[in-house]
A and B are shown apart, each in its own frame.
Chain A
Amino acid sequence: MSLTKRLSTILKAKASKALDKAEDPRETLDYSYQRMLEQLTQVRRGVADVATSRKRLELQANQLTQSGAKLEEQARQAVAQNREDLAREALSRRAGIVQQLQDLKTQHDQLDAQESQLTQASQRLQAKVESFRTRKETIKATYTAAQATTKVNEAVSGISEEMGDVGMAIQRAEDKTAQMQARAGALDELMASGALDDLSAPGDHIQAELDRGLLTVGVDAELERMKAELGKGSTPKSLGAAPVDAAPEEAK
Chain B
Amino acid sequence: MIVRILGDGQYELPENMEPEFERLDNHLIAHVEDGDEEAFRRELAELIGIVQQGSEVPDDDFRPSDAVLPSPNASLADVQELLSEEQANP
Contacts and interface: CB of A to CB of B under 8 A. Distances in A.
Interface of A: 1-14, 113, 117, 120-121, 124, 127-128, 130-132, 134-135, 154-159, 161, 165, 168-169
Contacts of B77: none
B19 to A, nearest CB: 13
B64 A12 contact: yes
Contact of B59 (A2, A117, A130, A154): A130
A43 B55 CA distance: 26
Interface of B: 3-4, 6-9, 22, 25-26, 28-29, 32, 59-71, 73, 79, 82-83, 85-86, 89
Which of B61, B68, B73, B86 has the most chain A CB within a 10 Å cutoff?
B68
Contacts of B83: 6-7, 10
A168 B32 CA distance: 20
B28 A165 contact: no
A165 B59 contact: no
Given A2-B25, A7-B82, A8-B67, A117 B7 contact: yes
A8 B65 contact: yes
A132 B62 CA distance: 8
A161 B59 contact: no
B22 A157 contact: no
A113 B66 CA distance: 28
Contact of B68 (A4, A131, A169): A4
A161 to B, nearest CB: 5
Given A4-B69, A10-B86, A128-B59, A161 B64 contact: yes
